[in-house]
Structure 1
Amino acid sequence: MSPHKQPSSLLKLCVKSSLNLINECCYMIEKKCPEIECMDCEGQVKILKGYLISLLPARLFDVLCLERGCCQYRGDPRVQLNVLLHPKMSVFHKCDIDISIPQNFWVRIIPWSSCLVVLDLKLICTDDILIAIGTQCAQLEELNIVSKVDICRSSVNASILVRNVSDFGLECLTDLKNLRILSMDPPRNERANRVGGCVTQTGIIKLIRELPRLEELRIESCDIGSMLIGSILPINPLSLRKINCHFVSADGIRRLGKICPQLRELTITHLSAHNKDQLLDELALGDLKLHRLDMSFFSYSNAMHKLMKIKGSYITQFSLWEIDHSLNLEAVINLGVSCPNLTSLCIITQSKYLSVPKFFERPTNIFRNLHKLTLGNENFSLGEILMFFLQCTQKLQKLTLKYQTKISIDSALIQMLQKGYIKNIINLWLDCTLVVSKDVVKQIIDGCEHLQLLTVDLTEDMSDILSYIADNNLDLKLGGY
């Protein structure tokens, strides 16, 4: 049976109780004062803040700010924040209600937060705020500056998005030498409906050249690898460890290896039919030692097999969206033998040659460390191939199954339960094309003692299942489509 819900920890209860009391005090102050920026209001906020600072350790203010969402505040969030922001706090994540706060508030309070290590101002940031961050928050290691978005009317009477972070704002961050993770807007022209003072590829590259410890650059819908490879600006070796790249060539991979010698996670989407084997050869023979490799629109060719044989011992996470019907059981076995340290595997294929022969003897010691498995698409027997993988590992915690045709998998799930193959499963995600009866859903809940998340197409009335979960106090989230 799925695990039971545990009572809240004493810390969580204390945090919630403290937040409720603080919110009530803030709301009383706000009700007594006509303007929150008047001297009287600021004086009362200072008294409350001073009392809390004398009473609570600085680390607890980080927790109180992170948990603000669990106790909704009825008033102006600026009053609450003025009380909770501690000069020695190290982590701050904005809440949804913070988006309405005027820019001048953030510009004024950021100098008070010079000890911050993590700062998330997603959908709040502007150039003026970045000026304050760049001059006052030198210890930052993780920063989210996805900009505030204004919706305006264009001359043709259409709604357009205006970004509030530009290259000027990025220039202000060059002194943040400890920065490891940066989340930001995509460059101009990445999406046609973005106008205004947006960032550019040149501005992004100028910034990351000045950040010696930057390991991860998170930019939505942006081909970061191609941006670096195609740069006309000289780029010294960077510390980036994670890159996504589309339409890259062998020469591009070679240059990327020189720009990012510490690269450990690479995502490649390659729609072109040309130069794929040369690209794979470069990955195999180059200096990069990748831990995670995600490949879309590739075949399991001889070059792919060579890459796995040479570099497979480094790979712990591998994803392949395979084309050309090149994947068969021999290729899967070669993958398992070449990558003994795999903990996560995703295979999406249309191959009609992926099958398990009758009386097949399963090889030993492959996929033994697998924790996460994703199988999907069509033309192969999902239950048959799934059973092959489950017989190889005893450590599976997350299983995701996808399929393009509506099929029933009751018998496969029952077999997995009876043989104990999914006894350690925590997260089971079944595509809406996979038909599962209510009785089997109940058996899964009863038979998987660690299951906490189950996603299945709920075509039948599941009210009795939901009641069963509630009555038995199970820590299980049952989701549908």
Structure 2
Amino acid sequence: MSPPKQPQRLFQLSIKSCLNVINYACYVIEKSCSEGEFDECEKKVYSLKCHLMTVLPCRLFDVLCSERTCCQYRGDPRIQLHVLTHPNMTVFRKCDLDNSIPQPFWIETLSKFSRLVVLDLKFICTDEILNVVGLNCLLLEELNIVSKVDIYKSLFNASVLIRNVSDAGLYSIAPLKLLRILAMDPPRNERANRVGRCVSQAGIIMLINELPRLEELRIESCDIGSTLIGTVMEIGPLSLQKVNCHYASADGIRKLINICPCLRELSITHLSEHNKDAILEQISTSELRLNRLNLSFFSYSESMQKLLLFKGCYLTHFSLWEIENSLTLDAILSIGLCCTNLNSLYLMSQSKSLEVPRYFQRPNNIFNNLQHLTIGNDTFSIEQILTFFLNCTSNLQTLVLKYQTKVNIDNTLSSLLRKGCFKNIDNLWLDCTLEVSKNVVKDIIQSCDKLQMLTVDLNEDTSDFHRYISDNNLDLKLGSY
């Protein structure tokens, strides 16, 4: 049976209790002062802050401020933040309630945070705020500057989203030489530049070049690799360890490897030329020691085999979306034999050649370390492939089955449950095309001692399952479509 819910730790209860008391005190102060008595209110808030700092360790304020959403404050969030922040904070992450706080508050508050290491300004960030951050928060290692978004309602066109961070803001944070992780807006095209502020590819390249320790740049829906490859500026070598590259070519990948010699995670999709093998050759012959490699729209060719032979020992995650019906059991065996440290495997294929012989004897010491498996296909026997993988590893924790045609898998799941193949599974995700009966779902819940997340498509009423989970105090989330 799924594990029981554990009671909250004493520390968590203490934090929640402390926040409740602080929130109550803030609310009393706020309601005791009229709008015209702002100075008096500020004095009382400051007095409360000083009292708390004499009885609580400074590092606890970081925790209280991070956990403040567990006890929602009913009043002006600025009052609560005044009490829960202090100059020695090392971590500050805004919450959704902070989005309405005006810019002057952030400028005044952040100017005092000289010891911050982590700062999240998602959806409140502006160029003016970044100017303050760049001047005062020189110890930052992780920063989220995804822009505040305003809505401009045009009389002629549909509503337009206006961002508030531009290249000027990026220049402001160039002095933050300790930054390792940066999240920000994607660049906009020239037409979009006419509405509001925006960052450009040139601004992003400038900033990357100014941050010697930057390991990860998080830009939603942005092709970082192509941006780096396409620039005419002299850049590199950079410290970036994680890059996605959509429209790749062999020459582009070679240039990218020279720019980012420290890469540990690489994703390649949407090839710009029909030279997949040449791209794989560039990776094979490089000095890269990748931990994660994601390849979409590739085939399992001799070049792929060579790549895994040379670089597979470093991989802990391998993802392949195969498109030319080239994936066979021999190819999967080769992946397992070459990638001995593989922890996570993602395989998508339309191959009709993926079959496990009836009396197949699997090799020893293959997929021993596999903990996370995602597989999908319209043609292979799900029972054969699942049985193969689950017989290879006893440590599988996450199993995701995707893109199957409509098929009932009751017998397959029941057989695997009887063999104890799911004993360590804590997350099971079954595509909506996979038909599973309520009886088998109940068997899964009762038989999997570590299961905490189950996603399955049940057209029937599931209230009895939720009641069963609640009555037995199970730490299990049951999801559907």
- Would you say same fold, with TM above 0.5? yes
Residue 325 of structure 2 is aligned to residue 325 of structure 1 = yes
Shift of 1:288: 1.2
Shift of 1:446: 1.0
**Number of the residue aligned with 1:232:** 232
Shift of 1:189: 2.1
Shift of 1:471: 0.9
Residue 378 of structure 2 is aligned to residue 378 of structure 1 = yes
**Number of the residue aligned with 1:287:** 287
The AA in structure 2 aligned to 1:330 is D
Query: 2:401 touches 2:429 (CA, 8 Å); kept in 1?
Result: yes
Determine the C-alpha separation between the residues in 2 that align with 1:37 and 1:250.
67
**Number of the residue aligned with 2:446:** 446
**Number of the residue aligned with 1:255:** 255
- How far does the alpha carbon of each residue in 1:234-268 deviate from its partner, in whole angstroms, 9 at most, with x for none? 10211000000012111111111111110000000
Determine the C-alpha separation between the residues in 1 that align with 2:204 and 2:454.
41
Instruction: Give the secondary-structure state (helix, strand or coil) at the position aligned to 2:210.
Output: coil
**Number of the residue aligned with 1:397:** 397
Query: 1:190 touches 1:222 (CA, 8 Å); kept in 2?
Result: no
Query: 1:348 touches 1:375 (CA, 8 Å); kept in 2?
Result: yes
Shift of 1:191: 9.7
Determine the C-alpha separation between the residues in 1 that align with 2:195 and 2:376.
39
- How far does the alpha carbon of each residue in 1:62-91 deviate from its partner, in whole angstroms, 9 at most, with x for none? 111111111111101000000000211111
Gaps of 5+ in 2: none
Q: 1:333 to 1:190 in 2, by over 3 A?
A: farther
- Give the 5 Å matches for 1:47-446: 47-154=47-154, 156-189=156-189, 195-272=195-272, 274-446=274-446
Instruction: Give the secondary-structure state (helix, strand or coil) at the position aligned to 1:112.
Output: coil
Q: 1:82 to 1:328 in 2, by over 3 A?
A: same
Determine the C-alpha separation between the residues in 2 that align with 1:117 and 1:194.
35
Query: 2:248 touches 2:272 (CA, 8 Å); kept in 1?
Result: no
Q: 1:437 to 1:273 in 2, by over 3 A?
A: farther
Query: 2:249 touches 2:272 (CA, 8 Å); kept in 1?
Result: no
Q: What's the TM-score once normalised by structure 1's chain length?
A: 0.98
Q: 1:37 to 1:133 in 2, by over 3 A?
A: farther
**Number of the residue aligned with 1:477:** 477
Determine the C-alpha separation between the residues in 2 that align with 1:453 and 1:152.
41
Determine the C-alpha separation between the residues in 1 that align with 2:127 and 2:35.
27
Query: 2:401 touches 2:430 (CA, 8 Å); kept in 1?
Result: yes
- How far does the alpha carbon of each residue in 1:108-127 deviate from its partner, in whole angstroms, 9 at most, with x for none? 00022111111111000000
Q: 1:325 to 1:36 in 2, by over 3 A?
A: farther
Q: 1:252 to 1:36 in 2, by over 3 A?
A: farther
Q: 1:168 to 1:193 in 2, by over 3 A?
A: closer
Query: 2:249 touches 2:271 (CA, 8 Å); kept in 1?
Result: no
Instruction: Give the secondary-structure state (helix, strand or coil) at the position aligned to 1:225.
Output: helix
Determine the C-alpha separation between the residues in 2 that align with 1:373 and 1:15.
37
The AA in structure 2 aligned to 1:188 is R
Q: 1:37 to 1:217 in 2, by over 3 A?
A: farther
Q: What's the TM-score once normalised by structure 2's chain length?
A: 0.98
| Range that drifts further, 311-320 or 148-157 | 148-157
**Number of the residue aligned with 1:22:** 22
Shift of 1:37: 7.7
Determine the C-alpha separation between the residues in 1 that align with 2:324 and 2:37.
66
Determine the C-alpha separation between the residues in 1 that align with 2:295 and 2:41.
57
Gaps of 5+ in 1: none
Query: 2:289 touches 2:314 (CA, 8 Å); kept in 1?
Result: yes
Q: 1:321 to 1:107 in 2, by over 3 A?
A: same
Shift of 1:286: 1.2
Query: 1:317 touches 1:342 (CA, 8 Å); kept in 2?
Result: yes
The AA in structure 2 aligned to 1:388 is F
Instruction: Give the secondary-structure state (helix, strand or coil) at the position aligned to 2:428.
Output: strand
**Number of the residue aligned with 1:5:** 5
Q: 1:64 to 1:36 in 2, by over 3 A?
A: farther
What do you get for the CA RMSD once the two structures are aligned? Answer: 1.4
Q: 1:194 to 1:332 in 2, by over 3 A?
A: farther
Determine the C-alpha separation between the residues in 2 that align with 1:383 and 1:174.
54
The AA in structure 1 aligned to 2:95 is C
Shift of 1:36: 8.3
Determine the C-alpha separation between the residues in 1 that align with 2:409 and 2:66.
42
Instruction: Give the secondary-structure state (helix, strand or coil) at the position aligned to 2:439.
Output: helix
Shift of 1:171: 0.2
Determine the C-alpha separation between the residues in 2 that align with 1:375 and 1:11.
40
- How far does the alpha carbon of each residue in 1:335-354 deviate from its partner, in whole angstroms, 9 at most, with x for none? 11111110000001111111
| Range that drifts further, 31-40 or 58-67 | 31-40
Instruction: Give the secondary-structure state (helix, strand or coil) at the position aligned to 1:2.
Output: coil
Determine the C-alpha separation between the residues in 2 that align with 1:343 and 1:194.
47
The AA in structure 2 aligned to 1:156 is F
Q: 1:37 to 1:415 in 2, by over 3 A?
A: farther
- How far does the alpha carbon of each residue in 1:137-176 deviate from its partner, in whole angstroms, 9 at most, with x for none? 0111000000001110236232111110000000000111
Aligned residues: 481
Shift of 1:439: 0.8
Query: 1:36 touches 1:42 (CA, 8 Å); kept in 2?
Result: no
Identity of aligned residues (%): 63
The AA in structure 2 aligned to 1:123 is F
Residue 468 of structure 2 is aligned to residue 468 of structure 1 = yes
| Range that drifts further, 150-159 or 135-144 | 150-159
Determine the C-alpha separation between the residues in 1 that align with 2:392 and 2:477.
28
Instruction: Give the secondary-structure state (helix, strand or coil) at the position aligned to 1:319.
Output: strand
Query: 2:177 touches 2:211 (CA, 8 Å); kept in 1?
Result: yes
Determine the C-alpha separation between the residues in 1 that align with 2:156 and 2:464.
54
Instruction: Give the secondary-structure state (helix, strand or coil) at the position aligned to 1:140.
Output: coil
Q: Runs of at least 4 residues of structure 1 off by over 3 A?
A: 190-195
The AA in structure 2 aligned to 1:179 is L
Query: 2:149 touches 2:161 (CA, 8 Å); kept in 1?
Result: yes
Query: 1:87 touches 1:114 (CA, 8 Å); kept in 2?
Result: yes
The AA in structure 2 aligned to 1:235 is I
- How far does the alpha carbon of each residue in 1:418-465 deviate from its partner, in whole angstroms, 9 at most, with x for none? 111110011111111111111111111111111111111121222221
The AA in structure 1 aligned to 2:402 is K
